[in-house]
A and B are shown apart, each in its own frame.
Chain A
């Protein structure tokens, strides 16, 4: 006789499973486990909003409390996805409003969110707690006012890097006087000034506030008043960090910062006046995360600050830090795990700062825990990349952007194939890689051979032929997301590895050489993929079949072809897909 636990026991056990992978595995064991699991799944992650429909999700998982949905492809961040492409939130909210009255959390990335959606959220979910809008757009501060006014149990409102139409700062004043549950507020992307007294009162009456990221409009002399009301803060983002130097402002800041014994993360720092940076020195010893990527101060001032932060784990900074500053970083911050260096003058023809490959080499040598890097620079060599790879085999994210496309090794004028080859060969746990510089098909051979744990690969202006793409598609076993722009890849590798595309979340190819005919063929052969051509020149039927498409976005889906496409997106072989479904 087979053992069988009562359903309640199984459900109790399944509740301990938080990872989607585990829950998916559990649901495949047998029909009864599938049933039990689907009734008790509370958190859903949808990596591509078009891979599944709201109806399918709701039908399978009726008791969801938290959803996380991602919309546009990553290259939308760099204006490669035309306006009006899609990723609309409204259909999701409208469906969930009916079926998930107890929904508590909505986390979105690169979705189009309207005020209508925000209002519907605020009125449909009585226990709504968490709203995170990362790189979203389409809404105004009026939508925020609805959330503030109606979500009585709101804990988190995080607008990180969203594009909000800022009609006024008045939305903040819509939080009711008896609203006290706020734990996290990130309004750093907003432009308008909010009523400062409303902000002060809000901060005062929310004793659990741990994260407060202000926007640029809050002047530095107002910070002490807020900090004094929230000494329990763990994460704080300033506004513009500049003012005429006045000793009373400075001493107030020092005192206010000193009162915050739990501060771990600092950000903001627009328009920094270096003289005000020392006001924070008292808290620096506890700081683990520092975002100075808006701070246009020079290296010596940055080093002064960083030298006070021995426990720093994460640093985002502009290239004003220069090689010298990175050397200092590597000696003071031995716990550093993540470094991002952004370009202060990305479009300038000549370097404006003394930041080279040497800075990255030094940090990779001096920081034993460094695992995640985003680095913009103007020159690189194979020797440096090899040194970096040998210094730091524990990289899991390595994103290098050499500003000039197809820039060769500046010492030898050769391609950077061997350098990146060393990265993938040594860093066996590498999950994310962004390439740049002059690269031939050989680098892809290295990647296909060694990068077995690689999940996301970004390629630009690289490679010689389809062989390069074939190496990647056939060799990278863990590949989930592949984004390619301006590479001489045609259809051969794509068609030869069509089945691979069903094991991935998505493939993006723009300004490559994939012909319209090939896209149609791929669409016909692979009914479980949406093969979408994006072309702003008008219907691909008006051009020869051999003509390359502007952009191609391929993703696996159980929802069939999109029903909300704009007029510049075509689904290949839509008819066949509809017939099969």
Chain B
């Protein structure tokens, strides 16, 4: 900031100050180096490459907190939703990105191809009864659920891992 040694007096400001060119209008008002927002943690800095000015944009902190949590969720959206898939009897697990699939039939077809098994068709009443294998998943609460019960979008956000169970074991899940 250009500090002129101005004469202090109680008088009207003159109009001799020349208008600055817009293009040369230096963004020197931003105290970005001194004014790093004290609440700016590493995560915020990582997502916002620009240096943050204290208190700008003028958003209240309780709003910022809500949005930060939402940001974390959407960040995981961007990076893909990889979950482990195990199959009973298989020697090792696989990993798939469930975001790649648009709906249950797509997912089931991919699993059937990957593991060379058949899981049949889902029905609300019977689950996958009658099939050799049945797909199950662990949800956010840690419970093992049958794949297909909830709307697809809900499944994608709550699925933590998949397990392809032997049909005989899955009988319990399919019954009403």
Contacts and interface: CB of A to CB of B under 8 A. Distances in A.
A349 B3 contact: no
B120 to A, nearest CB: 24
B11 interface: yes
Contacts, number: 135
Most B CB within 10 A of own CB, among A189, A405, A493, A548: A405
Contacts of B64: 346
A77 B56 contact: no
A268 B54 CA distance: 28
A513 B30 contact: no
Interface string A248-288: 00000000000000000000001001010000000000000
Contacts of A490: 6
A244 B154 contact: yes
Interface string A518-559: 100100010000000000000000000011100000000000
A78 B66 contact: no
A151 to B, nearest CB: 26
Contact of B8 (A77, A163, A521): A521
B176 interface: no
A470 B13 contact: yes
Secondary structure at chain A's binding surface: helix, strand, loop or mixed? loop
A66 to B, nearest CB: 27
Contact of B55 (A75, A441, A491): A75
Interface string A329-352: 000000000000011111111000
A343 B59 contact: yes
B55 A189 contact: no
B62 interface: yes
B8 A517 contact: yes
Contacts of B58: 77-78, 401, 460
B8 A518 contact: yes
B150 to A, nearest CB: 6
B151 A275 contact: yes
Nearest to A474: B12
Interface string B104-134: 0000000000000000000000000000000
B59 A465 contact: no
Contacts of A577: none
Interface string B2-45: 01011011111101010110100101011100010111000010
Nearest to A162: B62
A491 B67 contact: no
Contacts of B91: none
B55 A349 contact: no
Interface stretch (A51-59, A380-388, A481-489): A481-489
Contact of A161 (B3, B19, B39, B62): B62
* Interface range, B side: 35 or more
Given A345-B67, A349-B48, A492-B6, A80 B62 contact: no
B22 A438 contact: yes
Contacts of A345: 67, 71
A20 interface: no
Contact of A491 (B8, B54, B61, B158): B8
B172 interface: no
Contact of A403 (B9, B31, B57, B62): B57
A492 B13 contact: yes
Contact of A548 (B3, B38, B55): B3
Nearest to B140: A244
B68 to A, nearest CB: 10
A245 B13 contact: no
Contacts of A414: 22
Contacts of A491: 6, 8
A461 B150 contact: no
Contacts of B57: 343, 346, 376, 401, 403
A86 to B, nearest CB: 18
A226 interface: no
B6 A245 contact: no
Given A414-B22, A496-B11, A511-B35, 6 more contacts: A78-B59, A245-B154, A343-B59, A465-B17, A496-B10, A546-B5
16 contacts: A78-B54, A78-B60, A79-B37, A80-B55, A244-B139, A244-B154, A344-B67, A346-B64, A349-B50, A460-B56, A465-B13, A491-B6, A495-B11, A496-B13, A511-B29, A515-B6
Interface of A: 75, 77-80, 161, 163, 189, 244-245, 270, 273, 275, 293-294, 296, 342-349, 376, 401, 403, 405-406, 408, 413-415, 438, 440-441, 460-461, 464-467, 470, 485-488, 490-493, 495-496, 498, 511, 513, 515, 517-518, 521, 525, 546-548
Nearest first, the 4 closest Cβ-Cβ pairs linking A and B are A78-B55, A347-B48, A486-B29, A492-B13
